[in-house]
């Protein structure tokens, strides 16, 4: 094999991992979420910025508030998942750069003084971190159901503030009965990779 990762781990993280549509009622603990974050926080980002913010939706009241902002086809999934996370981008991430990038503290003002630049950087790097988060959920032996079928403005107003841009909602838990849709095709190597 050309990969260092054990084939079972490859299956867990990629080949056999699927977007779950149903879940068991087995709870997802705070300790599991902390372990996931403590693993995925090491994923690379530009300037070591860390714009991803994770809002865990645990209370029944908060869940009800979120479900009303989900697309109709996603409402029952979000209502029944053991844990739901709202992933967002913090557009004021630059305030942490002096401590996250101690060898280059002037990056905060040199590159990110203007809000539009920060928003663009936050969106790209938080999306990278969101992908790491999904892989981390899989590494914990759980299934993730990431969804962008939602009212983004509604979720922002209900749960966030003007400095945080919602990226997606992720349902998390052990997969339930009939959790998977049939696997959709993927592009072949030669359709994606070119050499120049």
143/172 Cα distance (integer angstroms): 6
In a domain, 189, yes or no: no
**Residue 173, phi-psi category: left (phi > 0), alpha (psi -120 to 50), beta (remainder):** left
**pLDDT of 131-176, one tens digit each?**
999 999 999 999 999 999 999 999 999 999 999 999 999 999 999 9
Terminal-residue alpha carbon distance, the chain: 26
Q: Estimate to the nearest angstrom the gap between the alpha carbon of 188 and the chain centroid.
A: 26
In a domain, 53, yes or no: yes
> Model pTM?
0.95
- Do residues 175 and 137 touch, judged by C-beta distance below 8 A? no
The CATH number of the domain holding residue 115 is 3.40.109.10
In a domain, 125, yes or no: yes
Q: Is the pLDDT of residue 1 over 90?
A: no
What is the tally of structural domains in the chain? 1
**pLDDT of 31-82, one tens digit each?**
999 999 999 999 999 999 999 999 999 999 999 999 999 999 999 999 999 9
- Do residues 58 and 83 touch, judged by C-beta distance below 8 A? yes
In a domain, 74, yes or no: yes
In a domain, 49, yes or no: yes
What was the pLDDT predicted at 132? 98
What was the pLDDT predicted at 57? 98
Range of the domain at 128: 27-175
- pLDDT > 70 fraction of the chain, expressed in percent and rounded: 99
What was the pLDDT predicted at 136? 98
In a domain, 111, yes or no: yes
In a domain, 142, yes or no: yes
In a domain, 44, yes or no: yes
- How far is the CA of 166 from the CAs of 4, 52, 77, 90, in angstroms? 35, 10, 19, 9
């Amino acid at each position: 094999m050309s990969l260092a990762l054990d084939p079972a781990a490859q299956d867990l993280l990629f080949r056999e991992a699927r977007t779950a549509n149903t879940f068991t009622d087995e709870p997802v603990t705070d300790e599991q979420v902390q372990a996931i974050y403590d693993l995925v926080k090491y994923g690379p980002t530009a300037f070591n910025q860390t714009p991803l913010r994770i809002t865990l939706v645990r209370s029944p009241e908060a869940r009800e508030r979120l479900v009303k902002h989900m697309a109709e086809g996603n409402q029952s999934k979000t209502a029944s998942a053991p844990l739901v996370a709202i992933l967002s981008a913090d557009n004021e991430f630059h305030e942490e750069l002096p401590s996250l990038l101690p060898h280059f503290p002037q990056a905060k003002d040199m590159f990110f003084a203007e809000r539009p630049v920060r928003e663009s950087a936050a969106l790209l790097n938080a999306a990278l971190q969101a992908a790491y988060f999904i892989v981390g959920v899989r590494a914990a032996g759980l299934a993730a159901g990431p969804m962008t079928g939602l009212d983004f403005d509604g979720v922002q107003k209900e749960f966030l503030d003007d400095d945080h841009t919602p990226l997606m909602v992720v349902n998390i838990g052990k997969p339930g009965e009939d959790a998977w849709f049939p696997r959709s095709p993927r592009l072949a190597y030669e359709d994606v990779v070119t050499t120049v």
